[in-house]
Structure 1
Amino acid sequence: MKVAKFGGSSVADSDQFKKVKAIVMGNADRKAVVVSAAGRSENEPVKVTDLLIKIEQLRDAGQDYLPVFNHIAERFVSIRDDLGLNVAIEDDLRVIKSQIAQASHDYLVSRGEFLTAKLMADFLGFRFVDAKRFMIFNDDQFDYSKSRNLLKSIVADSSRIVVPGFYGVDESGRTHLMPRGGSDISGSILANLLDADLYENWTDVSGIKMADPRIIDQSRKINELTYEELQELSYMGISVFQEEAVQPVRAKRIPIAILNTNHPEEDGTLVVDQVRENTANLITGIAGKKDYVIISINKYQLSKRLDILSKVFSIIQRFDVSFDYLPSGTDSFSFIAKRAAVSNKVQAIISALEEESDLDSVQLEKDISLVAVVSDQLGKRPAVAGKILDILDNSQIKIHLVIQESSDIKLVFGVANKDYEKTIEKIYRNVSLNEKKLRMAI
């Protein structure tokens, strides 16, 4: 049995609905479908979810939100009419409209998935199952046991279902949103609950590219990668798959297929527990993020001065900023954060560290990018990391920091923002395109 999740671009209009139906009906094993809210299309430049957020903003500002709501309503009615469906979507729209004045953020923003799933279920001839009936959260933790029992009674009556993604409910029955991209998580959880044989994630690209195609034209597609590699690449910035969607299927070793709704005939990317040795590349993927700051502190024998480190962490915590941190030597320690997260606090943090901690120096580096090389080969072939450093050194790219985590599958370089694209290009061109030569060299 397969669980198939379709992203916003896959359900953007009636033509996309038809592509989804052809895919679902093309394989009888596709018995559970999860959909995102209708996304952007040629005629609709704004996602339904973003329009719902706009309604909330207008409502809270005391401004007229009805024109935006009416546009959303017209969009769903148009899809319904174009497809010749009978579902009374106007009834659902009236209920939503009546709730806007007092609706919570989570309820309002989730209505795009709700309405899209209603139409898709009718179009496919499947049963619509509202996620609130079985997707149960306890605070931010998903309750697998309770949810599985609830779903079991639902699928006993119907084996072919459509579920809206992105939300569930808490134990009080209030709508609980997942992070943006949460329909990936919904699909992954549903695959787990149903013990699916495969979780298909249908989007608008034919799998995951080795590097950002906006930087590397004609970047190679990754045919296979592991759950851990996918999770690291997602964390480091690829937008094809939501990072938190990996664990639910990984827990049951359910493969993930990332496929293209617009080109279902093309091979995608398969995510598995372990890639076959003869198919593994030296580097699986390259990803990154821009606009970081690094605060480095220095003190002789700092690694042994727990009193000073404790004081430093206390100061950092006081400013309520989320930092990643790492020891960078016996005498030094570095804190890394997104520039937007630090905002205008960075100078105050540095001043507090200088004035309140017995440090030798505090240094700030701004406009830093993090570029990650991900591969389960890094631990098996340590020389790969050295080759990459040589490549960057020969390209005169200044490395501000290097992080290799204990998992041995991710190597992170800190470079200047201005060198971000160049760094990715140099690694890709010299490793991906010269793989055979490098394998022989190491």
Structure 2
Amino acid sequence: MKKVVKFGGSSLASAEQFKKVGNIIRKEESRRYVIPSAPGKRTPDDTKVTDMLYSCYGQAILGEDAEKDFEEQLEAIKERYNSIIRGLDLELSLDEEFKTIRTNFSKKIGRDYAASRGEYLNGIIMAAYLGYEFIDAAEVIVFDENGNFDGDKTHEILSARLENTERAVIPGFYGAKPDGSIQTFSRGGSDITGSIVAKAVHADMYENWTDVSGFLIADPRIIKNPKPIDVITYRELRELSYMGATVLHEDAIFPVRKEGIPINIRNTNAPEEKGTLIVEDTCRKPRFTITGIAGKKDFASITIEKAMMNSEVGFCRKVLEVFENNHISIEHMPSGIDTMTIFVHRDEFEEKEQDVIAGIHRAVEPDFLELESDLALIAVVGRGMRATRGTSGRIFAALAHANVNVKMIDQGSSELNIIIGVRSHDFDAAINAVYDIFVNTIV
């Protein structure tokens, strides 16, 4: 059995955390490929190493005027790593690595290079600690000259490199362009690296270790002690991630999904807990009708009303073209016989609202047009909803009982999710009401 294991920044913030990670890896022979992040915060007031590197590089850009601050910050970063090395009793020196970093920072080689050093250095320490081979991600993770990830070429190079490599540490978050310059994924991109490696080695499991025991049914900042999600499908996760649930980087799903490799979200600080298993599909019956609830605030809606709209060929296309021409993406579009409502991100829409209004008037000559802001969208997601009658009715009843006015409800044909639009000030109350009716109330 082969497992790829990725550890987040909080899991590798100190020597003590490194030891926990070492115990987890050594407990199972199958954990053969390790993807480390840069050291995260040791305490709530601490600074992540990636942020320290960004700041240090900023001083390097300023040149001689900031020479002292640059040297002090670089030394502070070096000490963070040395404290881990000392705590692990390793015979390892990063002096040469830091000489190279100092030189490259002085050459103003780029912010991506600066940020990537956090994972690079942690990878060296991790490989030394475990006795695994260290493989620089710049040698195996490929971006094109425009900075776009090249999945096919990466898979070819990485598969060949790991074919005869029994155990390896590959730093997350970065790769290289054809000219050798470093390119990073977006923040949290180590999740993506782990997924890419899992695909390359045809792993049986991709374990993603972090500081939480998997996904929760709802945001713990809104729901007190929400229940965990034992098993979730890729499609359900995609819906929840899109609406704001953030434990795993969205783009980390796709490489393993193509291969049917399950992802297991685990807690470094509670390794005995099973966490959440993410799968292509499952026969396992969910504990509750819903799998999860997530949502976002700060939406606006544009309602267009016109008599006989439904008989006017091309009406919707003309309206949508106005938004396209103004480069505004659309979230949802519920409609009636003579009305259609379009939900958009408020900050994206506000700058161009008058251009959009004028464009709609020119395009379709509506009888009435109304704007509303301070709206929130909530996604109620669950494969269990397909086989359960009255789900929408229970949602409406719960929201009515909580005195929440529903502005919009939209159910996809897959019956996997129901989107509810409410006022932003009703956001927390709505999530509490839905959680209560499906999780706390036994029918």
Residue pairs, 1:65-214, within 5 angstroms: 66=70, 67-100=72-105, 101-138=107-144, 142-214=149-221
Structure 1, 64-73 or 213-222: larger mean CA deviation: 64-73
SS at match of 2:259: coil
2:228 to 221, 230, 234: 221
- Matched with 2:434 is 427
Tell me if 1:312 matches 2:319. Answer: yes
Structure 1 position 325, deviation (Å):
4.1
Amino acid in the other structure paired with 2:111: H
- Matched with 2:336 is 329
Structure 1 position 160, deviation (Å):
0.7
- Do the aligned partners of 1:259 and 1:269 also contact (CA within 8 Å) in 2? yes
Tell me if 1:9 matches 2:14. Answer: no
- Matched with 2:42 is 41
SS at match of 2:175: strand
Amino acid in the other structure paired with 1:255: P
Whole-Å Cα distance in 2 between the matches of residues 97 and 311 of structure 1? 56
Whole-Å Cα distance in 1 between the matches of residues 349 and 111 of structure 2? 26
- Do the aligned partners of 1:35 and 1:163 also contact (CA within 8 Å) in 2? yes
Structure 1, 129-138 or 311-320: larger mean CA deviation: 311-320
Q: 1:105 to 1:295 in 2, by over 3 A?
A: farther
Amino acid in the other structure paired with 2:84: I
Amino acid in the other structure paired with 2:52: L
Q: TM-score, normalised by structure 2?
A: 0.90
Deviation string 1:26-66 (CA, Å, 9 cap, x unpaired) is 11110000111111112762222233333455566777361
Q: 1:318 to 1:37 in 2, by over 3 A?
A: same
SS at match of 2:236: helix
Residue identity (%):
37
Whole-Å Cα distance in 2 between the matches of residues 343 and 58 of structure 1? 36
Q: 1:124 to 1:148 in 2, by over 3 A?
A: same
Amino acid in the other structure paired with 1:176: Q
- Matched with 2:279 is 272
- Matched with 1:440 is none
Amino acid in the other structure paired with 1:42: T
Tell me if 1:339 matches 2:357. Answer: no
Deviation string 1:283-315 (CA, Å, 9 cap, x unpaired) is 111111122222222323435545554543443
Structure 1 position 356, deviation (Å):
6.4
SS at match of 1:251: helix
Structure 1 position 211, deviation (Å):
0.9
- Matched with 2:249 is 242
Q: TM-score, normalised by structure 1?
A: 0.90
Whole-Å Cα distance in 2 between the matches of residues 205 and 266 of structure 1? 10
Structure 1 position 97, deviation (Å):
2.5
Amino acid in the other structure paired with 1:250: R
Aligned length: 436
- Matched with 2:294 is 287
Q: 1:296 to 1:60 in 2, by over 3 A?
A: farther
Q: 1:276 to 1:356 in 2, by over 3 A?
A: closer
- Do the aligned partners of 1:328 and 1:334 also contact (CA within 8 Å) in 2? yes
Q: 1:361 to 1:205 in 2, by over 3 A?
A: same
Structure 1 position 117, deviation (Å):
1.2
Q: 1:379 to 1:279 in 2, by over 3 A?
A: closer
Amino acid in the other structure paired with 1:94: K
Deviation string 1:385-429 (CA, Å, 9 cap, x unpaired) is 221122112322111111222332111111111111111111111
Whole-Å Cα distance in 1 between the matches of residues 109 and 312 of structure 2? 52
Q: 1:161 to 1:314 in 2, by over 3 A?
A: same
- Do the aligned partners of 1:298 and 1:332 also contact (CA within 8 Å) in 2? yes
Structure 1, 401-410 or 363-372: larger mean CA deviation: 401-410
Whole-Å Cα distance in 2 between the matches of residues 160 and 129 of structure 1? 10
Q: 1:90 to 1:339 in 2, by over 3 A?
A: farther
Amino acid in the other structure paired with 1:77: N
Q: 1:369 to 1:144 in 2, by over 3 A?
A: same
Q: 1:70 to 1:44 in 2, by over 3 A?
A: farther
Amino acid in the other structure paired with 1:18: K
Whole-Å Cα distance in 2 between the matches of residues 140 and 406 of structure 1? 37
- Matched with 1:54 is 55
Q: 1:316 to 1:148 in 2, by over 3 A?
A: closer
Whole-Å Cα distance in 1 between the matches of residues 363 and 259 of structure 2? 49
CA RMSD of aligned residues (A): 2.5
- Do the aligned partners of 2:60 and 2:108 also contact (CA within 8 Å) in 1? no
Q: 1:300 to 1:421 in 2, by over 3 A?
A: same
Q: 1:343 to 1:173 in 2, by over 3 A?
A: farther
Structure 1 position 68, deviation (Å):
3.6
Whole-Å Cα distance in 2 between the matches of residues 335 and 51 of structure 1? 42
- Do the aligned partners of 1:144 and 1:193 also contact (CA within 8 Å) in 2? no
Structure 1, 64-73 or 279-288: larger mean CA deviation: 64-73
Whole-Å Cα distance in 2 between the matches of residues 377 and 106 of structure 1? 43
Tell me if 1:405 matches 2:406. Answer: no
Whole-Å Cα distance in 2 between the matches of residues 382 and 168 of structure 1? 49
* Contiguous gaps of at least 5 residues in structure 1: 438-442
Q: 1:93 to 1:299 in 2, by over 3 A?
A: farther
* Contiguous gaps of at least 5 residues in structure 2: none
